[in-house]
Each structure stands twice: as C-alpha cells, then as structure tokens.
C-alpha cells in the first residue's frame, strides 16, 4: 500500500490510505463498516488509478472528539489536505448518501458517481426494522455470534436467500463485524446533514451516476436504487443478479470491472 496515516480534519484525526497513480477514485464505506470493507478493490483498482479510502469520523481508526460536524466537510477537508482537486466517488450503502451529499456541496470536485446498493436515503421499512430489532436483542443478551449471523444473513446472503449462501470472504467480513460489534457502547454523535435536504435535490446532481443494486438485497435498497436512477439526470442502473447488499465482497471481480469501465467511459447514452 502506498501511503497511509491520519490528517487533522475539522478537529478530528481522520485515517486514510492511498495507493496507485492516475485519475483519483475515492471509496466511501458504509456504516457501521469502515474502510476495511474495500480490501477486495484496493489492489486491483490501484493498478490503474490513484485510490483513496478513509474511515469516517467515529468509525474504524478515525476518532470522534464529539464536536458538531458534517460528513461532506470532513471529506472535503481530507481531500484538500491530500491535494485532491477532483475525483470519482464510489459509495457503498450509506457511503452512497455521503457521496451524493458531497456532490451537491462541492460539485466542482466530482467527476462521476458510482453508488453501490445505496442506503441512508430512506426510512427503514417495518420488515427491516424487525431485522434490526432481532440483531439488537441478540446483542443485548451478549449473543454476539447470533447477532453477527443475523446481520450477515440480511446483508451478505440476502433476507430471502438461504442462510450461508455466500461463503467466499464470509469469515473475513464476519471478523470485521465482530470487531465492530464488540466495541464498548458510546454516545452517538450524529453528523449534521446538508441543507436543503439532498433527497429533495437529486435533480441538481450534475455528474454521471451509475447506481448498482443487488437482486437479492432487501427491497428497501432495491427501491432506493431504482428511485435514485430515475431522479438523477445522468444516471443509469446496473443489477447484480447474484448479490445482496455487498457486491464488492461477494462479486468483487464484477464490481471492479464495472468501476474500471465507468471511469473509462462514463457518458450515459
């Protein structure tokens, strides 16, 4: 890996990694995951591009001192410190929301978007809330392994798929989630959102956007992906037949190829 470390960003130490040379791609992770989720992308993409991944404030190695903050200003300040003037943003789940928010706050810094199983835009349905409730109940009883398996069934296998459907990299992502789930409880310092609400400003997104969804994902996320593809002017959607919520993990070769193609020829017909 080329370069890694911390940058002081708006009062917080933000962890980042950079690898490769060329056009810049910024990988924006989901929550509560961190930049480790992008391991299947870093080596491959950094052969053709300069790739940056980072941990959002309060996640992974990045600390949260408890001050008011916004995710888009944190990301802007990090890229400014790294000397990045423009990039392609690849967001996974909640990272897609952060990428769209950033594109509205700093449009001059965004070349194109690739939104993977976007989340953070919608209020979870009753069904998804029930999944969360089961996971939290298991956690409250100290049953971390049971909570982990429920979580992986939902996001890796797919809620209606056979439990354990995906075995490739299952133990790896299981261990990352175990590390996250085992952290002592802490007070949540929620970021301030961009105003006006990005969900009401999708028509203002001025760059090409490729919206990926997994056919086996929860319907909430599939509906969100299709909605974004219909509302963002220069957008198209791509369906991954054999993925749920984490195609970068269960179908990395396919997603990596799509990212390379999107960065090489991104104009929507």
Per-residue pLDDT tens digits for 87-133 = 999 999 999 999 999 999 999 999 999 999 999 999 999 999 999 99
pLDDT at 1: 56
Q: What does the alpha-carbon distance between residue 163 and residue 145 come to, in Å, rounded to a whole number?
A: 14
pLDDT at 186: 78
pLDDT at 266: 61
pTM as predicted: 0.96
Burial class of residue 210, CB neighbours in 10 A (0-12, 13-18, 19+) = buried
Contacts of 135 (CB under 8 A, 6+ apart): 147, 150, 151, 154
**pLDDT tens track, the chain, 269 positions:** 589 999 999 999 999 999 999 999 999 999 999 999 999 999 999 999 999 999 999 999 999 999 999 999 999 999 999 999 999 999 999 999 999 999 999 999 999 999 999 999 999 999 999 999 999 999 999 999 999 999 999 999 999 999 999 999 999 999 999 999 998 877 878 999 999 999 999 999 999 999 999 999 999 999 999 999 999 999 999 999 999 999 999 999 999 999 999 998 764 44
Burial readout 113-124 (b: 16 or more C-beta within 10 A, e: otherwise): bbbbbbbbbeee
Strand, helix or coil at 99? helix
Tokens of 19: 């690898």
Tokens of 70: 């916004």
Contacts of 37 (CB under 8 A, 6+ apart): 29, 30, 92, 173, 176, 246, 248, 249
pLDDT at 268: 42
Burial readout 55-89 (b: 16 or more C-beta within 10 A, e: otherwise): bbbbbbbbbbeeeebbbbbbbbbbbeebebeebbb
């Amino acid at each position: 890996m080329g370069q890694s470390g911390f940058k002081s960003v708006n009062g917080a130490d933000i962890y980042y990694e950079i690898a490769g040379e060329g056009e810049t791609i910024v990988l924006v992770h989901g929550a509560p995951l961190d930049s480790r989720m992008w391991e299947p992308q870093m080596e491959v993409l950094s052969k053709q591009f300069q790739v940056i991944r980072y941990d959002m404030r309060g996640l992974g190695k990045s600390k949260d001192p408890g001050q008011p903050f916004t995710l888009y200003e944190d990301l802007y300040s990090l890229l400014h410190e790294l000397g990045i003037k423009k990039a392609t943003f690849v967001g996974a789940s909640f990272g897609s929301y952060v990428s769209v928010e950033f594109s509205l706050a700093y449009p001059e810094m965004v070349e194109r978007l690739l939104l993977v199983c976007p989340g953070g835009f919608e209020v979870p349905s009753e069904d998804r809330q029930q999944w969360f409730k089961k996971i939290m109940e298991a956690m409250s009883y100290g049953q971390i392994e049971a909570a982990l398996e429920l979580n992986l069934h939902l996001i890796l296998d797919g809620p209606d798929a056979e439990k354990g459907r995906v075995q490739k990299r299952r133990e790896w992502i299981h261990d990352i989630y175990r590390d996250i789930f085992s952290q002592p409880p802490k007070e949540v310092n929620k970021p301030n959102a961009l105003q006006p609400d990005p969900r009401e400003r999708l028509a203002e997104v001025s760059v090409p956007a490729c919206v990926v969804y997994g056919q086996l994902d929860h319907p909430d996320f599939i509906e969100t992906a299709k909605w974004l593809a219909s509302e963002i002017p220069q957008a198209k959607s791509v369906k991954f037949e054999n993925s749920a919520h984490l195609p970068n993990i269960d179908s990395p070769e396919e997603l990596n190829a799509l990212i390379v193609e999107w960065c090489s020829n991104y104009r929507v017909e």
